[in-house]
């Protein structure tokens, strides 16, 4: 005789099934592949630990299991950033499982928040180098390859939009004026451009007469099989290296272009909330890590403060106000 339906053991809470269910849920929510890969690493690590403890089902998960797993991450000397990422991934799993009555929602309390040391502030591209790159982007040699056109347009597009590399490579050929891209957290945001940056993009697209790729930024070169494929993150980094070598300036990363955008806006008087909006940051503290105030702006501040404290020109002092004794009468 078969068991009643309510007594049958659930299979969706088995570790492998729960993992597949969570990944499907993350994809439905448009989490980026990079975020899903990070979560995958953390969950596989947790599940390997649980299986070694004889746990094959989330329904059997205990607070002690989670605390011991975090202890062994520490024993393995994983960096604080890695342990925090792992904790975030497992917290997402527990929330997902609790919504489906697989685990007690209070299990989440077993996960600790790891204190992260403040990262060393990354600096923008030095101003002379940045101006040299912009001048190079507008210089038109007698012969210019499709890669030359793409690199010039891509650098300026990155600088104006301040998009991350993972975001800029998502831009479609048909939607580059106000592109909608997915951030690393899964939220959709709209990028903002300028006429000059768009002019360079149009020049690049005018040279792409023989491909029908939907992507704005694609691979070019001798590899016929790769021609027309979407440009990868590593391809953007290679572009930055190529520009630095050609102009004989210090190497820079694509992310430093983003820092350069934020710093330029701040030094031109754009308020921090507006810079945060342009960069799609909800936290002003994060934006401050992007901004470097230059000496010219500090000099302007010094001149402003000088106006406040400057010695006034000689003039008669105003008459003294009546003392409190006069008001008693």
As a whole number of angstroms, the distance between CA 320 and CA 301 comes to 34
Long-range (24+ apart) CB contacts under 8 A made by 204-208 are 204/146, 204/149, 204/150, 204/152, 204/153, 205/173, 207/146, 207/149, 208/146
Residue ranges of the chain that CATH labels 1.10.443.10: 127-301
Cβ density class 71-96: b for 16+ within 10 Å, e for less: eebeeeebeeebbbbbbbbbbbbbeb
Determine the average pLDDT of the residues in 318-328.
56
Quick: pLDDT tens for 49-75.
999 999 999 989 999 999 999 999 999
The pLDDT of residue 270: 86
H helix intervals, 8-77: 15-28, 33-52, 63-75
Whether residue 5 is predicted with pLDDT greater than 50 in this model: the reply is: no
Residue ranges of the chain that CATH labels 1.10.150.130: 9-110
Identify the CATH assignment for 9-110 out of 1.10.150.130, 1.20.1440.230, 1.20.140.10, 3.40.50.12780. Answer: 1.10.150.130
Cα 72 to the chain's mean position, in Å? 30
The pLDDT of residue 327: 47
Does 127-301 carry CATH code 1.10.443.10? yes
Quick: pLDDT tens for 171-222.
999 999 999 998 876 788 899 999 999 999 999 999 998 888 999 999 997 6
For tokens 């991350």, what's the residue? Answer: 164
Cβ density class 285-309: b for 16+ within 10 Å, e for less: eebbbbbbeeeeeeeeeeeeeeeee
């Amino acid at each position: 005789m078969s068991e009643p339906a309510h007594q049958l053991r659930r299979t969706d809470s088995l570790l492998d099934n729960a993992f597949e269910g969570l990944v499907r849920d993350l994809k439905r929510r448009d989490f980026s592949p990079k975020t899903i890969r990070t979560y995958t690493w953390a969950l596989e690590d947790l599940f390997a630990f649980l299986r070694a403890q004889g746990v094959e089902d989330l329904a059997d998960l205990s607070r002690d299991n989670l605390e011991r797993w975090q202890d062994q991450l520490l024993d393995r000397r994983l960096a604080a950033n890695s342990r925090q990422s792992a904790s975030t991934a497992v917290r997402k799993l527990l929330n997902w499982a609790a919504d489906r009555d697989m685990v007690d929602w209070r299990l989440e309390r077993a996960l600790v928040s790891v204190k992260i040391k403040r990262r060393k502030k990354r600096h923008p591209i030095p101003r002379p180098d940045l101006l040299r790159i912009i001048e190079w982007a507008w210089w038109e040699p007698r012969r210019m390859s499709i890669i030359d056109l793409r690199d010039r347009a891509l650098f300026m597009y990155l600088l104006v939009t301040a998009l991350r590399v993972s975001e800029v490579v998502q831009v479609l050929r048909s939607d580059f004026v106000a592109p909608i891209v997915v951030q690393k957290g899964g939220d959709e945001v709209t990028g903002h451009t300028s006429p000059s940056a768009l002019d360079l993009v149009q020049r690049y697209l005018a040279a792409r007469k023989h491909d029908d790729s939907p992507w704005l930024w694609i691979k070019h070169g001798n590899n016929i099989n790769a021609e027309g494929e979407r440009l990868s993150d590593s391809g953007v980094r290679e572009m930055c290296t190529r520009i630095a070598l050609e102009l004989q300036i210090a190497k820079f990363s694509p992310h430093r272009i983003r820092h350069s955008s934020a710093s330029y806006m701040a030094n031109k008087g754009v308020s921090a909330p507006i810079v945060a909006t342009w960069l799609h940051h909800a936290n002003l503290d994060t934006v401050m890590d992007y901004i470097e105030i230059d000496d010219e702006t500090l000099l302007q501040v010094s001149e402003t403060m000088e106006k406040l404290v400057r010695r006034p020109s000689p003039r008669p002092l105003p008459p003294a106000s009546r003392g409190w004794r006069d008001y008693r009468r």
